[in-house]
Structure 1
Amino acid sequence: MNIKQVIIKAFHDHPGEFISGEELSQTCGCSRTAVWKHIEELRKDGYEVEAVRKSGYRLIAAPDRLSAAEITAGLDTKHIGQRVIAYDEVVSTQPLAQEAAAKGAEEGTLVLAEMQTGGKGRLGRPWHSPKGTGIWMSLVIRPAIPLPKTPQITLLTAVTVARTIREETGLPVKIKWPNDIFIGDKKVCGILTELNAESDRVNYLVIGIGINANSVEADFPEELAAIATSLRIESGQPVKRAAFIRQFCRFFEEEYDYYLQHGFERVKTEWEKNSYTIGRWVSVQTISQKLEGRAVALDDEGVLMVEDETGAIHKVYSADVNYRANP
């Protein structure tokens, strides 16, 4: 960590408390003058820091901006989120995370941006990513699992995002198979998992997560207003995005470590419990065919099971799923 990151972490470790300049200089391994200069830089970055003679410095308020220092401060995970690469504006965090992973970025590396100009979802669909309103991030992981099990990671991520939203906002959320998070009948989050592998091993996965956090109605273009929403619109309260990301990292590491040790069963149970899809009549478009029927369950591998009008069960591995009124 650099000196600014160490100072921010010290403030997070002592919320509402004064920390003396001497203590900060010892913690940072620099002079008190250097501490003062870095405090001034933090103020320019939007941090409100109170300075009182003989008492020291106290953090009053932090800006709502996504920086490596703000996210790693107070984060108690072993791996997930311990390295953060933050940008102001990018085309998309996904290729940047893939590039970092290809160069050896450690598991848990998080790439995020305040704004994406070319964010993408599944099937190459554009993802609206305005500046300063959302959580646009990509996570690098390196699971030692067989190639056929990698789609389970998308379901694990959806379960984790849903849990984080409930914990941070109290909002009821549902998961649309396999990668969307809904509040009511509107989408609030999309997940895109991309794989780099050889014939017999996974090199890494890059999980892209886009969450409409603090968007207001005016932020959505007309074509999205009827189908998309945000955590702020639904809860009536702004989301502290850095705190949300820290909580996601904690929950993801917990679920991921459990999955690697014990398998998919817990993810399957949680996914079905929070499913927007199970029990609904669906229209499924795969590369080769169109299928209509009722989504009845996930199988033990995470494949969607759809029962058609004849009672036949079909396994859906990858498809575009739409919903229609029950027959």
Structure 2
Amino acid sequence: MPAIDHTPRLALINFLADGEFHSGEELGQQLGMSRAGISKHIKVIQDWGLDVYKLQGKGYRLAAPLDLLNEDRLREQTDSPSVCLQPIIDSTNQYLMNRIGELDSGSVCLAEYQQAGRGRRGRQWFSPFGANLYTSMYWRLEAGMAAAMGMSLVVGISVAKTLNRLGADGVKVKWPNDIYWQDKKLAGVLVEMTGQAGGAAHLVVGLGLNVSMRDKEGGQLDQPWTRLEDACEALPDKNQLAAALINDLISALRQYEQHGLGMFIEQWQALDNYYNRPVKLLIGESVIRGIARGIDAQGAILLETEKGLVPFVGGEISLRGEG
């Protein structure tokens, strides 16, 4: 099936991004289509999660101005060897996974809207247009798949430190792959990996960061959530935000390659949302309760239980705060 050409819709969004009214006639002239064609495209971008209002005699406008990503600016501002902006995409992670073997470490893909974004354990990642930041980075880890065990923790540390530096005070990490602010989910990390035993590991690190998502879309999520807009007094420009996250992550992954997880353990402890707090681990049908005591050198969460300090690690463990 040929790919759908979204060029007219993206051009329409660019015109509306200023948050001002634009008449159907004006938009039709700019885009070379009828008012009926404009109306049809408006319905599609509304399905993408954009709030478009129509007022008789004035035309169409967005509920608020839209801060859009710009590929040229990102290329200028980042240390990435390759920056690809795909405004409409199924999944930024899948885009890079499909191109492993063609990419240099640090190559990134960003999107404004994901039609099939995914989170941990195959869950759908809700991705309204322009409201959040969706980005993925490819990394080739020469030390192999075993060395990749703590990588999602390092990614979380890097993201939390960047957001704190940009004015979102109090951003924390939640084992193994979430970013929290005031006990609510602000962002999620998904690390996907492929490779052969004895060879390099090929990793794709996906980040979904809630930037200015409205309550209407957030109502579809199954856990308490928040957005960067609430955590920052002044929301950073989205291109500046993306570039800072990309550059800091490249730096952190280079350090991880050289030194392993050991040098990050104290950083994790300082940022750990549940450190020294009562928590429960959900492992299949089992629930294990204890006090969170950080992580060990292998990236396992340490839980103080009646049996003493016990490490837990694995893809099917969920961490929850008690109470």
Name the TM-score class by shorter chain.
Answer: 0.7 to 0.9
| Aligned-residue offset at 1:312 | 5.3
Partner in structure 2 of residue 184 of structure 1: 182
Is 1:300 matched with 2:303? Answer: no
Query: 1:213 touches 1:239 (CA, 8 Å); kept in 2?
Result: no
| CA distance 1:299–1:207, shift in 2 (3 Å) | same
Q: Gaps (5+ residues) in structure 1? A: 1-42, 48-62
Query: 1:305 touches 1:315 (CA, 8 Å); kept in 2?
Result: yes
| Aligned-residue offset at 1:108 | 0.9
For 1:199-238, what aligned pairs fall within 5 Å after superposition? 199-221=197-219, 223=221, 227-238=224-235
| Aligned-residue offset at 1:90 | 1.6
Partner in structure 1 of residue 70 of structure 2: 67
Query: 1:169 touches 1:231 (CA, 8 Å); kept in 2?
Result: no
| CA distance 1:266–1:100, shift in 2 (3 Å) | same
Partner in structure 2 of residue 244 of structure 1: 241
TM-score, with structure 1 as normaliser: 0.73
Which secondary structure does the structure 1 equivalent of 2:67 belong to? coil
- Summarize deviations over 1:146-180 as a string: whole Å, max 9, x none: 42231211011101100111111242111110110
Is 1:91 matched with 2:94? Answer: no
Whichever residue aligns with residue 74 of structure 1, its letter is: Q
Is 1:267 matched with 2:264? Answer: yes
Query: 2:300 touches 2:311 (CA, 8 Å); kept in 1?
Result: no
Percentage identity across aligned positions?
23
- Summarize deviations over 1:166-211 as a string: whole Å, max 9, x none: 1112421111101101110111100000110112223310011000
| CA distance 1:283–1:195, shift in 2 (3 Å) | same
Query: 2:144 touches 2:201 (CA, 8 Å); kept in 1?
Result: no
| Aligned-residue offset at 1:129 | 1.0
CA distance in 1, matches of 2:99, 2:70: 17
- Summarize deviations over 1:29-80 as a string: whole Å, max 9, x none: xxxxxxxxxxxxxx98989xxxxxxxxxxxxxxx8322321211133x2xxx
CA distance in 1, matches of 2:182, 2:111: 27
Partner in structure 2 of residue 117 of structure 1: 115
Query: 2:193 touches 2:202 (CA, 8 Å); kept in 1?
Result: yes
CA distance in 2, matches of 1:236, 1:98: 36
- Root-mean-square deviation (Å): 2.5
Partner in structure 2 of residue 144 of structure 1: 142
TM-score, with structure 2 as normaliser: 0.74
Partner in structure 1 of residue 166 of structure 2: 168
Q: Gaps (5+ residues) in structure 2? A: 1-13, 19-65
Query: 1:115 touches 1:130 (CA, 8 Å); kept in 2?
Result: yes
| CA distance 1:85–1:195, shift in 2 (3 Å) | same
Is 1:133 matched with 2:131? Answer: yes
Partner in structure 2 of residue 13 of structure 1: none
